[in-house]
Amino acid sequence: MTVFDFDRASKLAPAVARERKDDSPCAACSVRGMTICAPLDSNELAQVSALMTSVELQAGAPLFDEGEEAGNVYNLTSGTLKVYKLLPDGRRQVTGFLFGGDFLGLATQDTYAFSAEAVTPCLLCRFPRHKLEDLMQRMPKIEQRLLSIASNELVAAQEQMLLLGRKTAREKIASFLMMLAKRAKQRGQPEDPVLVSMSRTDIGDYLGLTTETVSRTFTQLKQEGIINLLPNHQVKLAQREALEEIAGGY
Amino acid sequence: MTVFDFDRASKLAPAVARERKDDSPCAACSVRGMTICAPLDSNELAQVSALMTSVELQAGAPLFDEGEEAGNVYNLTSGTLKVYKLLPDGRRQVTGFLFGGDFLGLATQDTYAFSAEAVTPCLLCRFPRHKLEDLMQRMPKIEQRLLSIASNELVAAQEQMLLLGRKTAREKIASFLMMLAKRAKQRGQPEDPVLVSMSRTDIGDYLGLTTETVSRTFTQLKQEGIINLLPNHQVKLAQREALEEIAGGY
DNA sequence: TTTTTCTTTTGATGTGGATCAACGACGCGC
DNA sequence: GCGCGTCGTTGATCCACATCAAAAGAAAAA
């Protein structure tokens, strides 16, 4: 379990690395045609794009903290982001990793229920929440899209509860690798040598394990020939079916 | 960890205990003014009510199973319901308990992502999903309400991930009791002697513990004078602040 | 009421993963 | 290139909770 490291926190990079006011619509959002913009026509898209600002984060930079006023929602254009919650003594639970195309910042209360931090350098589209809410009144399509996103997240959250509450370390690691492979495939990236861009600590905090256990379990799977640990944080799924079997049918 | 008991399963009560076609609007839904009907005017309410059927479940009766076609959504009028997921070998994770006023059955895919079963006798309002979806096209208010419900559930799910991944047995039980108290208060029921209507097995499967550990932890808290175990499944929160402290600030 | 059955509690023992400790390996700035 | 800080791996030991076992309550059936 990771205990909050105050020394490290004070050394963190500044909150927002760079920020650009951009008159053109968020290229990645419209090009990819994903996330909240997906169901919109060009006129609607222009209205949404007018609200948007680009944000750039360097690895390790926080986007916002739990409890902070939830003024914006975001679309992650590229990079990897983690969202997490802390206990008062610093124990951390990473509740999710976000990748290119993912949506972030849904909140009913007016404060964020979790913190968000860049794992790798990130590009995001930012929308002021109240303006987007005004727009939603006139464009139910956005609301539909948001409901669909929330429903999918809810399904994923329940899956993760099953993992945290009932799976062994071995099953957790196998599930984690399968999840990374699936998500990479979804956004059209290579899924066999899986790129594991996050640290053992982040993985441990996501799976409810310690770094040591994460490391030992990777080693164990490697020795069994189920995976190969390649350079540059890549993992080859040597026996994909075996891994899927261990993951527990999910 | 609970392993699937095939003998017990075969002895379970039939799926739907009773069912009534009801011309009048679901009394509880409109009276309470909660859940998806909350923001509607009387004309809109009539349209929604026209789609509704009442369902009655006896304790232990399943409402639907994971993987089943998601044909309906439900409003729980009274009683307690549990939703859960199973691993292939029968290990179970209860992902939530639902109480009077709660909404159930949100799904993007066309199958349920979890199973639902009555803990106590239950009364529900049932809505055919495709008809409700048609209605949503014309009444964005319902969609807004659903998005709000989903957002709240998402916050609760992240809270539960923190609990499952990072809290000790003692902290889990304390959090569980505080949650029950809070939810009882929300729906205007006595919150101090908390009614714990579910079995130790259900609690264990909700918190990622065994029945034995749940029982031992209750006993321990009782011996420390933090709670009192009363007859009829009631628990008196003798030292509420101490319990809140143990729960970890949530 | 007594009997049966299921649930909860309590006890004895085992173990998966945490903790504590040290070392090796990679990346970065100089 | 070299030194240095961070991250990952490996080893030894510990402990919170699981597992196994049985008794004590509670509820349902006879």
Q: Do residue B128 and residue B218 come from a single domain?
A: no
CATH of residue A32: 2.60.120.10
The domain boundary residue, chosen from A121, A144, A161: A161
Q: What is the mean pLDDT of residues B47-73?
A: 91
Pairing type for strands B53-57 and A72-78 reads unpaired
Q: How far is the CA of B88 from the C1' of C17 (A)?
A: 23
Three-point CA angle A161, A167, A169, nearest 5°: 120
Ranking B13-17, B114-118, B243-247 by mean pLDDT, the lowest is B13-17
CB contact under 8 A, A165 and B140: no
Q: Do residue B63 and residue B128 come from a single domain?
A: yes
Residues in A closer than 8 angstroms to B85, CB to CB, are 158-159, 161-162
CATH of residue B175: 1.10.10.10
The domain boundary residue, chosen from B161, B193, B228: B161
Residues in B closer than 8 angstroms to A106, CB to CB, are 151, 154
Q: What is the pLDDT of residue B45?
A: 76
Q: Do residue B20 and residue B143 come from a single domain?
A: yes
CB contact under 8 A, A143 and B148: no
Q: Do residue A101 and residue A132 come from a single domain?
A: yes
Interface residue B249 vs chain A (CB under 8 A) = yes
Closest nucleotide (CA of B167 to C1')? D16
- pLDDT classification of A144: cutoffs 50, 70, 90: confident
Closest nucleotide (CA of B222 to C1')? C9
**Which residue pairs from B207-211 have beta carbons closer than 8 angstroms and sit at least 24 positions apart in sequence?**
B207/A165, B207/B163, B207/B164, B207/B169, B207/B172, B207/B173, B207/B176, B208/A164, B208/A165, B208/A166, B208/B93, B208/B164, B208/B172, B209/B169, B209/B172, B210/B1
Give the chain A residue whose CA is nearest to the CA of B204. Answer: A165
Please check whether residue A202 is in contact with residue A239, taking contact to mean a CB–CB distance below 8 angstroms. Answer: no
Ranking A24-38, B62-76, B187-201 by mean pLDDT, the lowest is A24-38
Q: What is the pLDDT of residue A128?
A: 93
Nearest to B132 by CA among B65, B72, B63: B72
Distance from C-alpha of B2 to C-alpha of A21, rounded to nearest angstrom: 55
Domains in chain B, number? 2
What count of CB pairs under 8 Å joins A to B?
116
Q: What is the mean pLDDT of residues B68-73?
A: 93
Q: Compute CA A14 distance to the chain's CA centroid, rounded to the nearest angstrom.
A: 20
Interface residue B102 vs chain A (CB under 8 A) = no
- pLDDT classification of B61: cutoffs 50, 70, 90: very high
CB contact under 8 A, B109 and A155: yes
Q: What is the mean pLDDT of residues B38-48?
A: 72
Interface residue B92 vs chain A (CB under 8 A) = yes
Helices B129-138, B42-50: axis angle to 10 degrees equals 160
Q: Report which of residues 110-169 in chain B place their beta carbon less than 7 angstroms from any atom of strand C.
A: none
Q: Do residue B102 and residue B43 come from a single domain?
A: yes
The domain boundary residue, chosen from B105, B127, B161: B161
Q: Is residue B207 part of a domain?
A: yes
Q: What is the mean pLDDT of residues B87-93?
A: 96
Distance from C-alpha of B172 to C-alpha of B247, rounded to nearest angstrom: 7
The mean pLDDT value of chain A amounts to 85
Q: What is the mean pLDDT of residues B46-56?
A: 85
Task: Give the residue, B37 or B33, on which the prediction is more confident.
Answer: B37
Distance from C-alpha of A130 to C-alpha of A32, rounded to nearest angstrom: 25
The mean pLDDT value of chain B amounts to 85
CA atoms within 13 A on the CB side of B83: 24
Nearest to B63 by CA among B19, B5, B26: B19
Alpha helices per DSSP H over chain A: 6-10, 27-32, 42-50, 129-138, 140-166, 169-186, 200-207, 211-223, 240-247
The segment with the largest mean pLDDT, out of A70-74, A161-165, B5-9, is A161-165
Q: Is residue B1 part of a domain?
A: no
Residues 6+ apart with CB under 8 A from B12: B60, B61, B62
Three-point CA angle A44, A49, A55, nearest 5°: 155
Q: Is residue A52 part of a domain?
A: yes
Q: What is the pLDDT of residue B25?
A: 42
Q: Write out pLDDT tens, residues A105-142.
A: 887 788 999 999 999 999 999 999 988 888 888 888 88
Q: Is residue A1 part of a domain?
A: no
Q: What is the mean pLDDT of residues B196-203?
A: 97
Output the six-digit token pair for B119: 């803990």
Q: How far is the CA of B94 from the C1' of C1 (A)?
A: 40
Q: What is the mean pLDDT of residues B85-108?
A: 93
Please check whether residue A107 is in contact with residue A70, taking contact to mean a CB–CB distance below 8 angstroms. Answer: yes
Task: Give the residue, B42 or B242, on which the prediction is more confident.
Answer: B242
Task: Give the residue, A64 or B143, on which the prediction is more confident.
Answer: A64
Ranking A34-43, B13-22, B203-212 by mean pLDDT, the lowest is B13-22
Nearest to A122 by CA among A27, A218, A205, A57: A57
Amino acid letter, A102: D
Distance from C-alpha of A126 to C-alpha of A28, rounded to nearest angstrom: 13
Task: Give the residue, B203 or B5, on which the prediction is more confident.
Answer: B203
Q: Do residue B154 and residue B189 come from a single domain?
A: no
In chain D, which nucleotides are within 7 Å of a protein Cβ? 6-12, 16-21, 26-27
Ranking A3-17, A22-36, A201-215, B105-119 by mean pLDDT, the lowest is A3-17
Q: What is the pLDDT of residue B49?
A: 79
Q: Write out pLDDT tens, residues A54-81.
A: 999 999 999 999 999 999 999 999 999 9
Q: Do residue A176 and residue A156 come from a single domain?
A: no
Q: What is the mean pLDDT of residues B82-110?
A: 93
Q: Do residue B109 and residue B44 come from a single domain?
A: yes
Q: Do residue B91 and residue B210 come from a single domain?
A: no
Q: What is the pLDDT of residue A86?
A: 96
Residues in A closer than 8 angstroms to B148, CB to CB, are 108
Q: Do residue B155 and residue B219 come from a single domain?
A: no
Helices B169-186, B140-166: axis angle to 10 degrees equals 160
Q: Do residue A31 and residue A68 come from a single domain?
A: yes
Dihedral through CA A213, CA A218, CA A222, CA A228, nearest 10?
A: -170
Distance from C-alpha of B140 to C-alpha of B187, rounded to nearest angstrom: 26
Q: Do residue B148 and residue B200 come from a single domain?
A: no
The domain containing residue B114 runs over which residues?
6-161
% of chain A at pLDDT higher than 70: 82
Task: Give the residue, A191 or B219, on which the prediction is more confident.
Answer: B219
Residues in B closer than 8 angstroms to A97, CB to CB, are none
Interface residue A162 vs chain B (CB under 8 A) = yes
Q: What is the pLDDT of residue A240?
A: 96
Output residues with Cβ under 7 Å from nucleic strand D.
Answer: A 11, 199-201, 211-212, 214-216, 218-219, 229; B 1, 168-170, 208-210, 212-213, 231-232
Distance from C-alpha of B124 to C-alpha of B29, rounded to nearest angstrom: 9
- pLDDT classification of A40: cutoffs 50, 70, 90: low
Amino acid letter, B166: R
What is the SS3 assignment for B154? helix
Residue B182 scores a pLDDT above 90: yes
Please check whether residue B83 is in contact with residue B153, taking contact to mean a CB–CB distance below 8 angstroms. Answer: no
Q: What is the pLDDT of residue A7?
A: 42
- pLDDT classification of B143: cutoffs 50, 70, 90: confident
Closest nucleotide (CA of B211 to C1')? C8
Mutate to test the interface with B, among A154, A155, A163, A170 (most CBs of B within 10 A): A154
Q: What is the mean pLDDT of residues B168-191?
A: 95
Amino acid letter, A194: V
Determine whether the distance from the CB of A232 to the nearest atom of strand C is below 7 Å.
yes
A249, burial (CB in 10 Å: exposed 0-12, middle 13-18, buried 19+):
exposed
Q: What is the pLDDT of residue A26?
A: 53
Task: Give the residue, B11 or A109, on which the prediction is more confident.
Answer: A109
Mutate to test the interface with B, among A166, A176, A201, A210 (most CBs of B within 10 A): A166
Ranking A160-169, B6-15, B208-217 by mean pLDDT, the lowest is B6-15
